[in-house]
Chains A and B, each alone.
Chain A
Amino acid sequence: MADRLLGLIGEFGSEETLLEAAKQAKAEGFRCIDAFSPFPVEGMAEVLCLERDHRIGWITIIGGLVGFFGMLAVQLFVNVDYPVEVGGRPLFAWPAFFVVDFEIMILGAVTFAVAGMLIINRLPKLYHPLFGTPRFGLASADRFFLYIDASDPRFDAERTRGFLGSLGAWTVEAVLP
């Protein structure tokens, strides 16, 4: 056990006990906590102080603008570089350009939104130290986990282990790199 301890993870049997445990951990002064459950637990976002993140909206707008003006630039370049006379149509046929610009704007906005969501969530991630704890896989089945990070100012390997036990955790495991 020479490895540095990253944190402790406690296993709970129901969403109620997990929510209660998270509330108590917060009341105890822990700040670097996280929760894992097979489905979203109502009220957990408030306990964990997850703030609404508006970044994805801006990323989507930027994606739309990049798509719109990028496509417009392509059309302008093509028509200047290889002008074709089509039934008296002006070289820069804005109404005709607009349809394609609009489509590519949607494509850009959607692509940026999906890619931005993945990047903000730090995905894809093939390995995380939590995966090393034997019971963590149950978080996608029927168990609920509360994680306390070692970087928390109030963290102490022995006392925090006892604290998680006192909250009713069935098992408490050490998370190692």
Chain B
Amino acid sequence: MTRDRALLIGIIGLVGCAAGLVLAPRQALIAWLVCWLGWGSIPIGALALLMLVALIPGSWRRLYAQPLVLGTTLVPLVAIAMIPLLVGVELIYPWTANGATAGYAAFKAVWLSTGFFVVRTVVYLLALTLIAWALLAASPRMRGPIAAAGVIAYALIGSLIGIDFAESTQPEFHSSIYGLLALTNQWLAGISFAILLGLWSSDGKAPLAAAGVLVTALLMWGYMHAMQYIVIWAGDIPAEARWYIERGRDDWGALAWLLYGLQGLVTFAALLSPTVRASRRAMMALAGLTLVMRVIENAWLVLPGMAGIGWPVAPLMVAASLAMLGFGWAGALALRRREETWNEPEWVGKARSV
């Protein structure tokens, strides 16, 4: 696909979003938020994984380094895509309403104040962009230190992205695991993006690193979801139980089964087979499924608790996805680097420095 065609898809998506913004502004913004959380996880997850690639040598670099570099170059786009949400923050989050925070505890009232929220968002995205820029611009010798510091910052920012942008849509809900859910969501996005791109541009068998890293993140993801559910079920506190009841009835219940069935059971069972693990096509299919499931998961996490959401949110999400994928693709084509030295074996660097 050429850059022009990708841009065209992006513009079509944007036109759809703009139409939605006129006709149903709240739903359009919420659809954009869900897609931002889903597709935006790709560059953020790619940055997180690239920092680990910089820190942990091994054969996985051959598959992951190049696509993750590409994903990381797109982090500024994620920051730009946040702008509409900051402008329309009062249409999205219930705690922005006048007097909504009056009943909150002091810390929560300060944390969920519009001004502080906007400042925090800018800080998160600026920090991620800076880390991404520093890591990509650094000499191979400096990548380790930057990645080590960046991973620590990312662990906080990545969790807070989930807590601030998704969990706070229902301020009465509280779950300590939510930040980790957001992190695993980002890892799955980054990993499957890298697998999809890395295997697409290669041929032959899929390396074991593809399935190995994916299944690790998948187990982590399943564990987080299962633990949150079991803890809340056992605690049986109304505000928390309600969160699951809302997400378990009607169509949302069906969506939950789709999410946990396809992303959890089917993907895990498929990865048990050595044939699937070695097959390029099968691994690409699983990675593609995982990417789509990021949007489904965030829709399931965010939408059921939002008032005033109807069917228009579905086409609006399609429009937002087109816009993000189109501009993301065009950006990837424009920003891709010709020469990268992430893949070279350790000894090459050592041999040069002698």
In the complex, the answer to whether A95 meets B234 with C-beta atoms within 8 Å is yes
Query: Is A98 on the interface with B (CB-CB < 8 A)?
Result: yes
Q: Which residues of B contact A99 (CB under 8 A)?
A: 230
Query: Is A96 on the interface with B (CB-CB < 8 A)?
Result: yes
In the complex, the answer to whether A96 meets B274 with C-beta atoms within 8 Å is no
In the complex, the answer to whether A95 meets B274 with C-beta atoms within 8 Å is no
Query: Is B173 on the interface with A (CB-CB < 8 A)?
Result: no
Write the A98-130 contact mask toward B (1 if CB under 8 angstroms, else 0): 110000000000000000000000000000000
- State the CA gap A95–B233 with chains docked (Å): 7
Query: Is B226 on the interface with A (CB-CB < 8 A)?
Result: yes
Write the B222-239 contact mask toward A (1 if CB under 8 angstroms, else 0): 000010011001101000
Query: Is A159 on the interface with B (CB-CB < 8 A)?
Result: no
**Interface of A, helix, strand, loop or mixed by DSSP:** helix
Write the B161-203 contact mask toward A (1 if CB under 8 angstroms, else 0): 0000000000000000000000000000000000000000000
Write the A38-75 contact mask toward B (1 if CB under 8 angstroms, else 0): 00000000000000001001000100000000000000
Q: Which residues of B contact A54 (CB under 8 A)?
A: 274
In the complex, the answer to whether A98 meets B274 with C-beta atoms within 8 Å is no
- State the CA gap A99–B230 with chains docked (Å): 8
- State the CA gap A96–B272 with chains docked (Å): 27
Residue of B nearest to A89 (CB): B236
In the complex, the answer to whether B226 meets A98 with C-beta atoms within 8 Å is yes
- State the CA gap A87–B233 with chains docked (Å): 13
In the complex, the answer to whether B234 meets A96 with C-beta atoms within 8 Å is yes
Q: Which residues of A contact B236 (CB under 8 A)?
A: 87
Residue of B nearest to A93 (CB): B233
- State the CA gap A95–B234 with chains docked (Å): 8
Q: Which residues of A contact B234 (CB under 8 A)?
A: 95-96
Residue of B nearest to A54 (CB): B274
Given contacts A95-B230, A98-B226, A98-B230, list 11 more A-B pairs with CB under 8 A.
A54-B274, A57-B272, A61-B272, A87-B236, A95-B229, A95-B233, A95-B234, A96-B230, A96-B233, A96-B234, A99-B230
Sample 7 A-B pairs with CB under 8 A, ordered by A number. Answer: A61-B272, A87-B236, A95-B230, A95-B233, A96-B230, A98-B226, A99-B230
